[in-house]
Every structure is written in C-alpha cells, then in structure tokens.
Amino acid sequence: MKRVILYTDGGARGNPGPAAIGIVVMDDKNEVLMEIGKYIGEGTNNEAEYHALIEGLTAAHQKEAEVVDCYLDSEFVVNQLKGVYKVKNERMQVLWEKAKAIEKKFKKVSYTHIVRSKNKEADRIVNQVLDSLK
C-alpha cells in the first residue's frame, strides 16, 4: 500500500488579504516527492489552509497514494475534518466538501494537528510566495 505524508499550510496577510498555500509531499521514508507553493488570491487564513489541503490531497492522488497522513498547523481545520467542530460558515462548507470528496479517492486519510514549528517547510513555502508579491 503506497503511503504518503502530506504537510500543508495556508496563510493570508490581512485575513482576508493576499493568500498563499505551501505543500510538501513525502514518501514513507521521509523523502520529498514534491513541493508546491502558489498564490491563491484574496482569502482568509482558514480558506488558505483548506486550499492547501485540497491541493495537497490532489497531488497525493496524482502520486498514486492509497494512504495519506496529513499534518496541518490549523487546529480549526483539523477539527472540522475530524467532525469535532461543525462547519458553520458557507465558504468553509464548500471547501470542506471538496476536501471530503477528494478524501474518498484514498483507502485511508488521517489528519493530525501539529505546532507551527513542526510544519516549517510548508510554512516557509507560503511565506516565500507571499513575500514574492511585494
């Protein structure tokens, strides 16, 4: 069973403001398979977090992963995906539904909240993209 490890981060300067995503896809030996950084337009931090996860899951699917271990520094998004928090915001609901639809393409997807210091690479990518907009 092909397993990938996914680190994602999203950020917005201004919240809402210019937003970007950072993604690191690794194999089960912690070798980096790909990194993605992208400006996504205006949005909130939470929207950017969802966009990063959706893009990361799409990349994992393209790498033919069957199991994905997702690590995010957004406790809010992790708890929504796990069903701990209800999704009340309409825009968040749309993004949650997209994430859940992609999730079905895998045998197993897990979501783990990590502190920002454990998500340095994805965070670095987000900030590189946002810094490049200046």
- Quote the domain boundaries for residue 118: 3-132
In three-state secondary structure terms, 70 is strand
Contact of 23 with 17, CB cutoff 8 Å: no
CA distances for 17 relative to 21, 86, 104, angstroms: 13, 25, 31
Structural domains counted in the chain:
1
Contact of 123 with 14, CB cutoff 8 Å: no
- CATH number, domain at 85? 3.30.420.10
Q: What pLDDT was estimated at residue 49?
A: 97
Residues 46-83: tens digit of each pLDDT: 999 999 999 999 999 999 999 999 999 999 999 999 99
Contact of 41 with 19, CB cutoff 8 Å: yes
Contact of 55 with 102, CB cutoff 8 Å: no
Mean pLDDT, the chain cut into blocks of 10 residues (134 residues total) = 95 95 96 97 97 98 96 97 95 97 98 96 97 89
